[in-house]
Amino acid sequence: MGQSKHTIEWIEAHLDRTLGHRMLELGNQTLRGGGSAKSYWTALGVQHVSADRNGRDGAVTVDLRTPGLRPDWSGVFDSVTNCGTIEHVTPIRCQPAIWDSVYRWLAPRGQAFHVAPTRCSRWRRHCRIFYSVAFFEWLAQRQHLDLVDAYIRRGLVFAVLQKKPATEPAAISADELRSQVDN
């Protein structure tokens, strides 16, 4: 998908710098206009890790469909960015594993930044799973997260979720998740 100027500015506006500077990027994102998200955030002093199946551009090679992935990352990241990645974690039965992993990887008070497609003419061929503001409201409630911001812009849902200290999420089944997304 590539990160737009709007996406970068939105993340910067919400990023809680008091938490630290450890960021996990799902996918190895590029910036519209050139360059990588990794180089952008690293230049700002962020300790940045990107994770993608392809392992390109310095990304750690991981398959985001794997349940219990990277237990060594549990509670490590002050922020996790998902800008056009999770909707490609298919089939849908694999979706609960990645949402659980994002939760686990966040440090207490950590923030998850999601930019995900809605089903609209612009994105309907981009992937097979689509999200809504209502999905992120449901996810926040289900995983005991605070929904900091959520809106739709140009067919994309922008949502910031923040992990509450000392909480455990409820397990999410594939059937339950399927009922919340548009696929």
Distance separating alpha carbons of residues 95 and 37, to the nearest angstrom = 24
- Specify the pTM: 0.93
Distance separating alpha carbons of residues 24 and 111, to the nearest angstrom = 10
Question: Selecting from 3.10.20.30, 3.30.70.120, 2.60.40.420, 3.40.50.150, what CATH number does the domain 5-178 have?
Answer: 3.40.50.150
Tens of pLDDT, residues 53-92: 988 888 999 999 998 899 999 999 999 999 989 998 899 9
State the chain's mean pLDDT as an integer: 90
**Residue holding tokens 């694999």?**
94
Tens of pLDDT, residues 19-57: 678 999 999 888 888 888 999 999 989 999 999 998 888
Q: Is 6 exposed, middle or buried (0-12, 13-18, 19+ CB in 10 A)?
A: middle
Q: Where are the domains of the chain?
A: 5-178
**φ, ψ dihedrals at 143, nearest 5°:** -100, 10
Helices (H), 15-67: 37-43
